[in-house]
Amino acid sequence: MSLFQRAHDIVAAKANKALDAAENPNEMLDYSYEQMLEHITKVRQALVDIAASKKQIELQEQQLQHSVDHLQDQAQAALAQGKEDLAREALSRKATAQQQIQSLEPQRQQLTEEEQKMEQTLAALQQRVNNFRSQKEVMKAQYTAASAVTSVNEEAAGISRSFSDTGEALQRAQDKIANMQARAGAMDELLQSGVLEEVGGSTDDIQKELDEASSSADVDKELAAMKAQLAAGSAAPPELTSGS
């Protein structure tokens, strides 16, 4: 396959796909019905033309037959007056008129047959069009119902997606709130324990020095008391034993 042919096939395929996407079944059904009506109109027009041609031939035959009858009378009148030549001329013209009638008869018969066939064709087409019209309305109703169902399903699918997105958003919000609550609780515990104050400023350093000074004073007091106890113990006289 040549490159040009491949490109042509691709373009044709894309065009066909675009037409399928743009095609509305209701519009196509109505268009097909209108086309059928146009065909029926053409058939009816052809039937009218055939009938008109047939009628014209019948009128010609009637006129020729009238001429035949009139020439017959003239021939008889001429012969009665002894004018044989004139009678012969009238009969000759009568024969010509009769020949014309005979030549028109096959045409009239053919048009009659064509008219009958056309009437049968028109009746069959009319029946098909009537059936198609009924089927068309049913199919249009089915397409409308299917479109409505499809639209509802699409809306339902959209709602489901929205619910899914909303659920995810709610979950993210709940996670964020829980995280913020946990951080707030941790900050509160740190504040109560004083860790944040020790880290945060010089007030904690002063308190620390005061605590250390108080602890040192207590140690000094306890050390002094122990020294006093030791001193008191070394200054007391020894006790006397019995029998000395």
| 159-186 tens-digit pLDDT | 666 656 666 777 777 777 777 777 777 7
Q: What is the pTM (predicted TM-score) of this model?
A: 0.48
Q: Which CATH architecture has domain 15-173?
A: Orthogonal Bundle (1.10)
* Higher-confidence position of 229 and 10: 229
Q: Give the Cα separation of 121 and 43 in Å (integer).
A: 8
Residue 95 has pLDDT above 90, yes or no: yes
Domain range annotation of the chain: 15-173, 201-226
- Give residue 28's pLDDT: 82
Closest CA to 107 of 64, 59, 54, 156: 54
Q: What is the mean pLDDT of the chain?
A: 78
| Other beta carbons within 10 Å of 6 | 10
Highest mean pLDDT among 84-88, 139-143, 177-181, 213-217: 84-88
Please compute the mean of the pLDDT values over residues 108-118 and round it to a whole number.
Answer: 91
Please compute the mean of the pLDDT values over residues 92-115 and round it to a whole number.
Answer: 92
Please compute the mean of the pLDDT values over residues 32-60 and round it to a whole number.
Answer: 91
Do residues 73 and 131 lie in contact, with contact meaning Cβ atoms separated by under 8 Å? no
- Give residue 16's pLDDT: 54
- Give residue 59's pLDDT: 94
